[in-house]
Structure 1
Amino acid sequence: MTRSAESAPPSTWALATISFVTMLGMGAMGMSLPILPPQLHLGFGYDLTTVGWVIGLESVATLVSRPWSGRVADRRGGKSATLLGLGVMILCGLAYALSDFTNPATGAGRSLALLAIIVGRVLMGVGEGLLIAGSGLWGIDRAGPRRTGRAVSWVGLGMFAGLAIGSAAGAAIDHGQPHGFALAAMASMLVPALAMAICAPIGAGALYHDHEPVSLQSMMSAVLLPGFALLANACGFAAVTSFLALDYTAQGWTALPLGGTGTGVFGFGAGHVCARVLFSDVTDRIRGPWLAVACLLVQAIGLATIWQAETPLMALIGAIVTGFGFSMVYPLLTVPVFSTVPAQKRGTALGLFDGFFDAGAGLAALASGVVANYLALPQVFLVVSAMALAGVAPVLLVRHERWRPAAQDAS
């Protein structure tokens, strides 16, 4: 295989900037997380099942577009895919903003608002897929072959730091403001535009010109077991980002600083960021399944704590623990994926692998809506806690030799 002669050399500064760009893009996505479910349920009057379907639609769109996003990153480079994803996210913010200027008192107004939000969810799903595939591959290239784990961790750090900061910012902008949802949506258009400007001076990563076909069967065999574990890991994320804000509202936890619709999601993001800061290099130094198993167990404990929470402080602690356990599962599971795919197909492999996350997040959002509607909101967190425990099985089934670094990374 051949690489582009324009490939920039490894750079920690470039990796940090790519992580920051990812944070900005995901911050735009995070702005809607605490305010979109209440907008649909309380503002437009849709039931919780419908809320779950609409929220889950974003993950479905990301899932369907992942293979295409991976191919774009492989063929056009991670930087190009990142820029394209940020552009699509701007269009999502526009659709959200338009939804707030309909008349929810009429059936036609409610339908138009729902349609605009559905369009926005689909655009956000496609944009997220391009951003994550692009920034992930771009970060791996710019970090250098011996720092693949650091690259995945730093880009993931930017991703969830953005979700945490964005969710807090979105809740603050929306709180008590006339057309606050529209203001937050407009802010979510400006942030990706800023990220695109920051991308401009950063050199592109490697661009491979040898794209010999690799069978779908071999690619799926590389991602299947780690993917099932990632699917289970995604369920807690979906429940926290889709229904924790509604749980806070239902419990009457609205007084800041411990209450408020964005507090739980912020706590989840804070736990995630803390774990990534402390353990960003762990996948480059320690190999094996047991760290991933431990992380899934910690996440299950955090979700069970939210389920049993009787105070906003207890729920916040549960959210922080959940985010801490959730954090390192993804970079740990990329080790057996990257050890079995050629370097020029890493974008495609990431797209397929990330598809399991989208499937888990989408299915969990849909199922959580049904559970919340027919049982009770806290029961959602019991169900996803059990799913996190179920994720231990596929981790332990991955062959031991697949936890070693890939040949191109070891050289």
Structure 2
Amino acid sequence: MLLPFWWLVGVLFVACLCVGMTLPTVPLFVAGTLGLGNAWAGLAVGIAFLATILSRGFAGTLTDRQGAKVAAVRGLFCYMAGALVCLAAGLPGLGAIAAYAVLLIGRLLIGVGESLVAVGTITWCIGLVGPARSGQVLAWIGAAIYGALAVGGPLGIALYDRLGLAGAMAVAMALPALALLAVLPLQALPVMAAAQRPSIWRVVGRIAPQGAIVCLQGIGFAAIGAFFALHFRAQGWAHAGLGLTAFGAGFVLVRLLFGGLPDRIGGLPVAAASLAVETLGQALLWSAATPNAALAGAFMTGLGCSMVFPAMGRDVVHRVAPPLRGTAMGAFSAFQDLAYGLTGPLAGLLADRTGYRGVFLVGTVAAVLGLAIALGLWIATRRPAATPQ
């Protein structure tokens, strides 16, 4: 079972390069080429995550009822269609408003693809190796996703500077096509039947504390993804595309070194320590006066964000029955998508009024709130149960 697992991790890395390439190029295209404001650039980034949020329930139900492979394959098709539509937005002849509208449609398709690919792959991999190693599974899957973001960010900007949006999106469309060819020969897992399926809202209620922690953690990454490159160019600093690379390097490093830690010591202590590091990283980004300091802040944010999702995801997996894992992971992931979806447009409005530094101050405050929730839950679980008199 380990060979198919590692094959899926590699496939996910290639597919998610499509997402990584669009994150920094979309705001540059909207704010630069189209001449629209930061709020519109943030909306173009965030709307993909909105689509992901709205489709998580569908992705989870599809995975539980028709199988993880079906969900993953459909997601890869959505990736390709979304990149193709974004390519059309970059072709000459369209006015700014028309190009922006076309771009939003492409971003929506990519968001749906992200939902299907992530939920399908996570459920598939946990089914291959077993729930006892769910924390490690989530760690490696996240390493593949954020490693792809780290590589895709500078790759997307390099292609954008040389070939424009259309050229960058042509490459982005080819990558999930390669991933699709690699995943089709793999054997699907059998679908597990559930005697009774609760509503998704009941599932959400069971995992809401873990979801809130992941949501608050995600604001720091969303701020880097949407506004790091714009912040660097506004300051006149070089290497704007290295923000996601620095974040991804820290993120993947921690996953490689400590990926099995939640399975050994529990999710809450790992999440608490991680959020403390993310707080320091976002604070450094907010106060950075040099590009090196800002890159160090992005790196520290990656270190801190790395283990929060697998730490809380491990707890989520153990709180639901096996036939409901797809639904639970879909609902859990939606909390993180909520952070990604709202941070872009709301932080864009803030950036228009206060500059880009204020965006990272919001990320700092969010990480502190997440840390407070994690510590509160951890302390509550360590209290000895009252003995009857």
TM-score w.r.t. the length of structure 2 is 0.94
What's 1:197 paired with?
A: 181
- Alignment CA distance shift 1:211-1:54 (3 Å): farther
CA positional deviation for 1:382: 0.9
CA positional deviation for 1:297: 1.0
Structure 2 CA distance for aligned equivalents of residues 345 and 56 of structure 1: 28
CA positional deviation for 1:401: 9.2
- Alignment CA distance shift 1:400-1:73 (3 Å): farther
- Alignment CA distance shift 1:288-1:131 (3 Å): closer
Uncovered stretches (5+) of structure 2, i.e. residues with no partner = 383-389
CA positional deviation for 1:44: 0.2
Corresponding position: 1:239 with 2:233: no
CA positional deviation for 1:398: 3.6
What's 1:3 paired with?
A: none
Corresponding position: 1:53 with 2:37: no
Uncovered stretches (5+) of structure 1, i.e. residues with no partner = 1-10, 404-411
SS at match of 2:220: helix
2:15 counterpart letter in structure 1 = G
What's 2:67 paired with?
A: 77
What's 2:348 paired with?
A: 369
1:269 counterpart letter in structure 2 = G
1:208 counterpart letter in structure 2 = M
2:245 counterpart letter in structure 1 = F
CA positional deviation for 1:203: 2.3
1:136 counterpart letter in structure 2 = I
Mapping of residues 28-67 of structure 1, within 5 Å: 28-67=18-57
What's 2:385 paired with?
A: none
Mapping of residues 9-408 of structure 1, within 5 Å: 11-103=1-93, 109-175=95-161, 177=162, 179-210=163-194, 212-254=196-238, 259=239, 261-398=240-377
Quick check: 2:268–2:378 contact (8 Å CA) kept in 1?
no
CA positional deviation for 1:216: 4.0
CA positional deviation for 1:19: 1.0
CA positional deviation for 1:217: 4.8
Structure 2 CA distance for aligned equivalents of residues 145 and 361 of structure 1: 27
- Alignment CA distance shift 1:331-1:220 (3 Å): same
Between Structure 1 and Structure 2, the one with more helix by share is 2
Q: 1:335-372: per-residue Cα shift (whole Å, max 9, x none)?
A: 32122211100000011111111111112112210110
1:268 counterpart letter in structure 2 = F
Q: What count of residue pairs does the alignment treat as equivalent?
A: 382
Structure 2 CA distance for aligned equivalents of residues 308 and 349 of structure 1: 38
- Superposed CA RMSD in Å reads 1.7
SS at match of 2:197: coil
CA positional deviation for 1:221: 2.3
1:197 counterpart letter in structure 2 = L
CA positional deviation for 1:218: 3.4
Structure 2 CA distance for aligned equivalents of residues 283 and 206 of structure 1: 28
Quick check: 2:197–2:324 contact (8 Å CA) kept in 1?
no
More divergent stretch after superposition (193-202 vs 231-240): 193-202
- Alignment CA distance shift 1:332-1:288 (3 Å): closer
Structure 1 CA distance for aligned equivalents of residues 56 and 201 of structure 2: 17
SS at match of 1:205: coil
SS at match of 1:391: helix
CA positional deviation for 1:215: 4.0
CA positional deviation for 1:399: 7.0
TM-score w.r.t. the length of structure 1 is 0.89
Structure 2 CA distance for aligned equivalents of residues 374 and 81 of structure 1: 41
Structure 1 CA distance for aligned equivalents of residues 157 and 201 of structure 2: 44
Structure 2 CA distance for aligned equivalents of residues 309 and 401 of structure 1: 37
Structure 2 CA distance for aligned equivalents of residues 65 and 111 of structure 1: 26
Structure 2 CA distance for aligned equivalents of residues 369 and 219 of structure 1: 32
1:283 counterpart letter in structure 2 = P
Quick check: 1:174–1:183 contact (8 Å CA) kept in 2?
yes
More divergent stretch after superposition (373-382 vs 195-204): 195-204
Quick check: 1:164–1:269 contact (8 Å CA) kept in 2?
yes
Structure 2 CA distance for aligned equivalents of residues 112 and 174 of structure 1: 20
- Alignment CA distance shift 1:156-1:225 (3 Å): same
Structure 2 CA distance for aligned equivalents of residues 99 and 162 of structure 1: 23
> Sequence identity of aligned pairs in percent?
33
Quick check: 2:261–2:270 contact (8 Å CA) kept in 1?
no
Q: Which 4+ residue blocks in structure 1 deviate beyond 4 angstroms? A: 399-403
